[in-house]
Amino acid sequence: MIEHKRLQEWVEEIARMCLPDEIVWCDGSDREYQQMVRLMIQTGTAIPLNPFKRPNSIYIRSDPGDVARVEDRTFICSKSKEEAGPTNNWADPEEMKRLLGGLFKGSMKGRALYVIPYRMGPQGSPIAKVGVELTDSPYVVTNMHVMARVSGKVFEEMDPEEEFVRGLHSVGAPLEPGAADSAWPCNAQHKYICHFPETREIWSFGSGYGGNALLGKKCHSLRIASVQARDEGWMAEHMLILKLTNPKGQIRYICGAFPSACGKTNLAMLRFSIPGWKAETIGDDIAWMKFGPDGRLYAINPENGFFGVAPGTSLKSNLNALLTTATSSIFTNCALTPDNDIWWEGMTDDEPEELIDWLRRPWKPGCGRPAAHPNARFTTPARQCPVIASDWEDPAGVPIDAILVGGRRATVIPLVTEAFDWEHGTFLASIMSSETTFAAAGKVGRVRRDPMAMLPFCGYHMGDYFAHWLKIGTVTERSKLPKIYYVNWFRQDSNGKFLWPGFGENSRVLKWVFERCGGTGEAVDSPIGRLPTPNALDMSGLDLAPDVLEELLSVDVEGWLAEVPTIREHYEQFGNRLPKALERQLLLLEERLRKAAR
């Protein structure tokens, strides 16, 4: 047991409410991880995979009603509705605590209460934070082992009065004495993922899946951390972190904000298609950034593993991800091969002749249904990545030179645009849009504005979040701020064919970004920002017609003018909390476009 009075008192309070059969204090050891795996195998939750093909790995199927984040059941329980803002579901914290108190009462009967102390970020980092998750799910324990740095020692490093994030989770399925457990216990009728920003608490009930239950993931690292970052003057962002090295050995670090299933993990593990250049991974999903003594923004990856979308991950799209998952990984809602390995759509060029799909049904090519769920996941340790950077756990973090933002758009948005300055970059990030995916519940393919890829993850009023970005831009010298780029790998022609090959070829854009950060790399001003000149992108070895590249780098003036009213409508929802600077940027954009149209 951990010697921490406030933690012990909280655990005892929760135990009195949830009535578990026992309390288990997790220590983060491999022995503990294997115990949880054996328990899940015994209860039918997990299937051990072929040890010759996928050693120390397990396969899990969730309940069909518990397969993704449930944004409509996710709440920000700030003291006022205004503080939560228009993009969040708000609930009164006292009323929600009363409702949840009734649901959590006795919810862990027949189960263990696992106490998971974890650190988000490398040991000794001034950017790292500590949290504790209480859960009744062995699945959560194993995934948290991979995704965070679980250890009882995290509390030895902190002052007893220091703040820590408190997360409470239950699958909401108490067991009566002698009753058989289900393979995936959950409570489909009552799902709540609730955040209490002022008290740094997370209460999650009913779902056992992904970010709904792994409370160190989006709940802590973004929704609660974004509030901490605002209050303390740093940044908690939904961003990958990538290390780039040119043939001369010069190094630059970039972050990238992209909505789920828009190529973020692929970019984080990119293989450079240009000889002599190298890309290495720092993180694939979250970046916490603070100013260093030199006035630059330094970033850490607070996570310890990757929780990636499996379908579409292939030798072509992300070889390094596949190599990372070769051992010691957890696969959820994929398909199962006859020899006890996993498969998902897009994994191989040829489909297997037979599979067992994620719903336990026989599957053959042409049967008319997917074998894996579109939001099937792999959970795998970051240290196993073949291109993990040697400094990925540097406590000081890495200095960020550039920030990419972008989404999935078939038209209008060029391949890459450099912002004029930090304020203009904040504007571009605030209007970025993408098509919705299976990673979030709801309609697929609908275009929505997703500022900084934080729409589902910002823990407070997004107008204030924009203001925080703008404030960050005033803390240091302009020359020390990262440059901001708006990218779009997904432009299509009139027949729906992608114009840009993407995947490893995105490195050609990164090379230009690298050069721009070093004061080289040619660019030309346009109404929407700075674009590469026709010869600025290294196209050696790539068979791309000149007219296609011209289209990728052109400004669709009429298309952008049509965007202006939708941007204005997007901004209207933030009312008087929308920073005046962004209103001004929109007016300036419209003026430049109308001038170009004449």
Question: Which amino acids are annotated catalytic?
Answer: 262
Q: Is the dihedral of CA 166, 170, 174, 175 positive or negative?
A: negative
Q: Are 382 and 281 spatial neighbours (Cβ–Cβ below 8 Å)?
A: yes
Helix, coil or strand: residue 275: coil
**Of 405, 448, 399, nearest to 424 (Cα)?**
405
Sheet holding 335-336, edge to edge: 342-343, 335-336, 355-356, 362-363
Supply φ then ψ for residue 383, to 5 degrees.
Answer: -65, -20
Q: Are 373 and 361 spatial neighbours (Cβ–Cβ below 8 Å)?
A: no
Going from the C-alpha of 157 to that of each of 126, 130, 131, 228, 575, the distances in angstroms are: 12, 10, 13, 20, 43
Q: DSSP letter for 461, please.
A: -
Q: Are strands 355-356 and 362-363 parallel, antiparallel or unpaired?
A: antiparallel
Determine how many CB atoms are found less than 10 A away from the CB of residue 9.
Answer: 10
Q: Are 345 and 312 spatial neighbours (Cβ–Cβ below 8 Å)?
A: yes
Q: How far apart are CA 67 and CA 61, in angstroms?
A: 9
Q: Are 156 and 123 spatial neighbours (Cβ–Cβ below 8 Å)?
A: no
Element (H, E) at 594: helix 580-597
Q: Are 403 and 484 spatial neighbours (Cβ–Cβ below 8 Å)?
A: yes
**Of 166, 162, 108, 119, nearest to 144 (Cα)?**
119
Q: Are 502 and 420 spatial neighbours (Cβ–Cβ below 8 Å)?
A: no
Q: Are strands 305-309 and 335-336 parallel, antiparallel or unpaired?
A: unpaired
Strands (E), 258-350: 278-283, 287-291, 297-300, 305-309, 330-332, 335-336, 342-343
Sheet holding 377-381, edge to edge: 46-48, 58-60, 330-332, 377-381, 305-309
**3-class DSSP string for 135-198:** ECCHHHHHHHHHHCEECHHHHHHCCCCCCCEEEEEECCCCCCCCCCCCCCCCCCCCCEEEEEHH
CB-neighbour burial class of residue 118 (10 A; exposed 0-12, middle 13-18, buried 19+): buried
Give every CB contact of residue 537 below 8 A, 6+ residues apart in sequence.
Answer: 508, 509, 511, 512, 549
